[in-house]
Every structure is written in structure tokens, then in C-alpha cells.
Chain A
């Protein structure tokens, strides 16, 4: 079985802070990490590899610095790593991104494509399903469990707000997975050492078939009109009081607001 896993390098958004004076993002010193849902996807691929044998190829699109997460994937157990990196892709929205990555997938042999549900920098959850459509594959998103059945089909659990759907998928497909369902394994020491001797293949746009008009900024139907820091609300009154006073204060406030 050949499995492609889509991974992305993202800033750790939980570490991003707002400059209290200027109200702007402080990006300095914010570490770059492998997107958590994607790491869950890689873990799922490696579990399938452990059980049934598989070749796991990780792919990513991004600047050359994304090399780091490709090596992390090697250290976890990936067999091949391809980084799609070209200025032609700069400014891509989700549709142009999914188009380019689909072009890369078409050059590879695969039985299954796994992506993370969403990346923590954009939170869109769009690239996976958009890729599935470009490639004509069925999709299951929000995957929290996946097993290979004897007939070669996949049995997949999809988590919804109020239920879990158990789905059987016939043939090739694309899954987007939840990090919370697939606790990633640790990198092994030998894996880390070896990861730096392996080759991360860096591909330019010339390696894939594409329509120039569908790449990068010009191939992106959505444009950023403006971005701005979140408006700050006026701070509330802060009372430093004892427990008894706090109770009285809260009860009075609730009465004032006709809540009690």
C-alpha cells in the first residue's frame, strides 16, 4: 500500500502574543512546528504501515525552511519526503494550494491520501476536501479512527458534533484526520540521526503538470482585503475582595442585571 501524507509547517499559534501597546502580532521567537492534525495523519499512516506494510510518502508545499518538518517525519518513520517549493506558488489561497498539491499527488502512485483536518494558522479545513475533488477521490473528513478491512476497503469513523458516523470507503480515497485521535509517536534517536542523512526531495513547479492560471496569487479566487488585530474591548472593573465580599458583589450584580 502506498500512502501519501500531506503535512504543513505552521507557527505555533498558541505561542503568538499580542503587543499590548501596538496591538500587533509578536511573531519573533514563535517556534515553527509540524501542524498537529497533520502529525496525527502521519501517525495514522505509520500505524497502517506497522500493521499491513506500506510505503509512507510525506509531501508539503512551502518555503525551503519546511525541510525541518520533513526530517521530523523521517524520524517518525516516513519513507520518502517531497517538498514542493517554488515562487510560482506564493500567495496561494486554499484552492490554488489544493490544485498544486493535487498536481504533485498525480505524479505519485498512491492508494490512500491522508491530510490533517486543518492547519492551526488558517483553521480553514479546506485544502483536504478541495484536493479530493481535484483528484476525483471520495473523502472522509474529521476522521477519528480508520481500519483496513479484509476486502481492502477502509472502515472509517467520522466525528460530527453529536454523533460518530461509521463509513466504509471503497477504493482510493482522501481522509482528513483529527490530532486528538492519533497521539503521535516519538521520534527515535536513531531515526533523528538518520533523518539528517536522508534526502528531502525539493520539487519546483516544473515537476508537475499545471495550468499557469491556477497557481499562486493569480490563481487564487479569494484575496485578502485587509487584516487587522482584533479590536480590544474596554477592560472591566476589577475588584480585589475577600470571598464573602465577592459573593455579595456577584449576587448584587446578578440582581442588577435581572439574572436572579
Chain B
């Protein structure tokens, strides 16, 4: 598993829970990443480094994580809500017969009347396409598990030279369960850009019309030192690739500046960008929801000079 898939996740737990934070690091030839995890806040890193874990495969990774959990009996286990985390976490939940809450945007431990004064882990996530928020608890089984949407937690400042424990874990594989074989991995160049990391996003929606429209946004993004992102509509019609999509079914972003051009702001879109520090929206419809719900500052005007 790549370190970047865990970004912003394990770091959070250290902040509010005040518990020991242990990161699990699985892969092949990744031992040197352990120190980095400690510098980002982990107290201990359990490293499983072996050829079987070179590429992510559901069964292999599930066996290792299952073994680590059974050995350590943690209270809480968090996974990144990536394609890997969302593949593996339910498999593990089912193996351990415990609860799993998907795609959390807020995690907290609260002691109040409703929890009889005991600390209770509360996991909040969007439901109904982002129309409703639901807070989920897992009262009777352990561990309490959730996948956490990348990008929703603020990354902690790296502390160079921070000290922690690195523990090597030697997994015992049941190879008779390995029924899926990796033939090849086709890398896609789109991997180069992650809009979730961008500080400035120039984002386009239906009002940008076409590829030429996005070329203009790209030119603006280049000048501002940002990236171009998109609403779902422009992904569905094939103008923009899916990895540029912001929103419920795309990525959650929180840049310093989000410029929404020709995006009306369906609730699914707002769910993915409303945490941005500063939002400028340009739309010909002054009643567009992007103005009324999520904007720090909004402008009404026509964006495209034909």
C-alpha cells in the first residue's frame, strides 16, 4: 500500500483521541517509509514487508491486517476510503464480524449523557448522495472501524526526527486462498495529478460547455499555479476525466481557492468542495445553489466571452 493512500487519516486519531496511534504499513521494499509515518504522528509502525504484498490483492492484504488486528486487539481501526481501503475494510469487517462505517468525514470520541459518560466513538458520514449526514456508532463489537475520505482531514505538520517504534510483522499466509493472480498493472498518466492536493482549483461545470472552454480554465490555472477540476456533468459527458471530478462520487477537495465556473452547485458537488477556504463562483444564474449555500464570496456574471 502506498503511503499516500493513508494521508490525513492516521494523523487525525492522534489529535483527539489521545490514544496510542499505530500505523500498519504493508508492501514490499517499503520499510524506509515507516519513519515518515512516525514523523507524521504515528507512535508505532507495524511493518509487513514481503514479496506477497508487492501489489495490492484483496486476500493477501486481508490476511495480514486480520492477523495484526487479532494480535493487537485495537479499539479503533481506520482505513483510507480509497479503492484499496474500500475493497479491504469490508472484507476484514466480515471476517472479524464487526461494524464498518464507510467514507467518514468526521470522527470524534465523546463522553456525554447519551453515552452514559463513557467515551464513545462517533463516525459521521454523508448519506443519500450527500443530502443527509448520519452519525454511526458501533457499541458492542470491536474493533470499531471506518474508512475515511481522503482530503477531509487536515494533514499534520511533519516533525523531522520524531521518535517512534518500528515493529516488523512476519505474516503467515494461507496460500490456498490465493485465487486471484495479478496479470499486469496498466498505469495511467492521470495519476500524476491529484486535485485533492492542489492549493488552487479552477473548476468547470456545464456552463463551460466543452473542451475549448476547459482549455481557457487550464490557462487560468497555469497562471495561478493551480489545477483544473470539474463537476460531474462534464465528466459524464466525457469532456473531463473522472479523476478530475469534485463531489460526492468524485474527490473531496479543500484548496485555498476554489473557482467554480459555470457550476450550479448540486448538493453532491457542494459536498466535495464546501470546505475550501475561499470560493469564487461565476454563474449566469443568480439563483444557482452554489451562491446560496457554500460560498464565501460569489459573483454573478457571464464567464465566457464568445
In the bound complex, do residue A253 and residue B126 qualify as a contact, i.e. CB atoms below 8 Å apart?
no
Q: Which listed residue, B90, B243, B292, touches A94 by the CB 8 Å rule?
A: B90
> Interface 1/0s, chain B 176-190, versus A by CB < 8 A?
010111111111101
- Interface flags, A93-120, vs B, CB<8A=1, else 0: 1110010000000000000000000001
Q: Are B188 and A254 in contact (CB under 8 A)?
A: no
Indicate if B302 sits at the interface (CB-CB under 8 A): yes
- Known: A222-B136, A227-B134. Is A162-B188 also a contact (CB below 8 A)? yes
Which residues on A are within 8 Å of B, measured CB to CB? Answer: 11, 13-14, 16, 18, 25, 93-95, 98, 120-134, 138-142, 155, 158-171, 173, 180, 220-230, 232-233, 235-243, 245-246, 249-250, 253-254, 257, 259-260
B301 to chain A minimum Cβ distance, whole angstroms, is 4
Q: Which of A134, A159, A233 contacts B83, CB < 8 Å?
A: A159
Find out whether the CB atom of B136 lies under 8 angstroms from the CB atom of A167. Answer: no
Which 9 pairs between the two chains have the least Cβ-Cβ distance? A162-B191, A13-B129, A236-B295, A221-B99, A133-B94, A222-B99, A246-B301, A124-B102, A126-B90
Query: What residues on B are CB-neighbors of A126 within 8 Å?
Result: 86, 89-90, 93, 100, 102
B137 at the interface (CB under 8 A from A): yes
Which residues does chain A contribute within 8 Å of B294, judged by CB atoms? 233
Interface on B for A, CB 8 Å cutoff?
55-59, 62, 82-84, 86-91, 93-95, 97-103, 114, 122, 126-141, 177, 179-188, 190-191, 200, 224, 242-243, 248-249, 256-257, 266-268, 271, 274, 278-282, 286, 291-302, 305
Residue of B nearest to A130 (CB): B94
- A13 lies within 8 A of B300 (CB): no
Cβ contact within 8 Å between B132 and A229: yes
- Residues of A with C-beta under 8 A to B191: 161-163
Which of B127, B179, B274, B279 has most A Cβ within 10 Å?
Answer: B179
Chain B binding surface SS class: mixed
Neighbour of A243 across the interface among B138, B249, B295, B305, CB < 8 A: B305
A–B pairs, 26, beta carbons within 8 Å: A11-B128, A13-B131, A13-B268, A95-B98, A121-B129, A125-B86, A126-B89, A129-B58, A130-B90, A139-B91, A161-B83, A163-B188, A167-B180, A220-B99, A221-B138, A223-B136, A223-B137, A225-B137, A228-B133, A229-B131, A232-B293, A235-B291, A243-B305, A253-B280, A253-B297, A257-B278
Closest to A164 in B: B186
Query: How far, in Å, is A92 (CB) from chain B's closest CB?
Result: 12
CB distance from A79 to the nearest CB of B (A): 27
**A124→B93 CA distance, assembly (Å):** 13
Residues of A contacting B: mostly: mixed
Task: Among B58, B82, B133, find the residue whose CB has the most chain A CB atoms closer than 10 A.
Answer: B58
Q: How far is the CB of B287 from chain A (nearest CB, A)?
A: 9
B186 pairs with A155, CB closer than 8 A: no
Q: Which residues of A contact B129 (CB under 8 A)?
A: 13-14, 16, 120-121, 123
A221→B97 contact, CB < 8 A: yes
Please, which residues of chain A bring their CB within 8 A of the CB of B136? 222-225
**How far, in whole Å, are A160 and B281 apart by their CA atoms in the complex?**
31
Specify which chain B residues have a CB less than 8 angstroms from the CB of A168 in the assembled complex. 180-181, 183
Contact between chains at B291 and A95 (CB < 8 Å): no
Partner of A95, one of B100, B182, B200: B100
Q: Bound state CA distance, A228 and B58, in angstroms?
A: 34
Q: Are B97 and A246 in contact (CB under 8 A)?
A: no
Q: How far is the CA of A232 from the CA of B62 in the complex (A)?
A: 39
Please judge, given known A-B contacts A125-B86, A221-B138, whether A166 and B182 are in contact too, CB under 8 Å.
yes
Contact (Cβ within 8 A) B134 A224 = yes
